[in-house]
Amino acid sequence: MFRLPDWLIYEIQRRWEQLALRRWINNNPRLIIGITIASVFLFLVIVIGRLLPRGAVNIEDYDKEWFYDLNTSELFVAKAELAGPIEAPSGPLPNGKPAGVKAYVLSYSSEPNESNRFIAFLEMPDPNAEERTETVKPEGGAEQRGRGKLIRRVDNKKWYPANSSRGQTILNEAFRPNENGQRPHYCPPPQ
């Protein structure tokens, strides 16, 4: 193993002492502690500033939204203010009720085409919303938005309250990141 010669070590020590930096550090511990605290504080401010969002998120309102025909399992477009169930192109369900429910179409692609879009879940108003009292804990944003709505997966026939544990599971699965870590985003219909 390589070792520095003694004369070089001695010379380095002598020059270090000439700088008197070591002595100055030893004589001013409060200043050094203050500089250290200020540096840590500055570091934390920078890290927190980088983690915070860059301002208000712009939420777009669309004139039209996707709806799903429960008879034909196909998407169609209708006015956004309609909550569903609405009349579907195929007509009513066998029980006479409208067959169109709101569909949430998502994609992982930034410029999605029909092949890389998918229906994350279906939604309709809960006709028994006033009677339901499943939520025991205080509601946050997602639970508040889900109140009074039923959701289901496309391949399932059973509807669940959106703010129930099963409803939240459906929502969590719908917005789960893919294998590349990308989160899906809403794909509006052609306006």
Residue whose C-alpha is closest to residue 90's, from 81, 82, 101, 99: 99
Supply the pLDDT for residue 161: 92
pLDDT in tens, the chain (191 residues): 778 888 888 888 887 776 766 677 778 889 889 999 999 999 999 998 888 876 666 667 788 899 999 999 999 999 988 877 899 999 999 999 999 999 999 998 877 777 888 999 999 998 876 654 444 444 444 445 557 899 999 998 899 999 889 999 999 999 999 888 888 988 888 87
Supply the pLDDT for residue 58: 65
Residue whose C-alpha is closest to residue 144's, from 120, 162, 128, 130: 162
Residue whose C-alpha is closest to residue 101's, from 154, 156, 166: 154
Domain locations in the chain?
A: 6-49, 64-186
Supply the pLDDT for residue 56: 62
pTM of the model: 0.61
Tell me the two tokens of residue 63. Answer: 């004139």
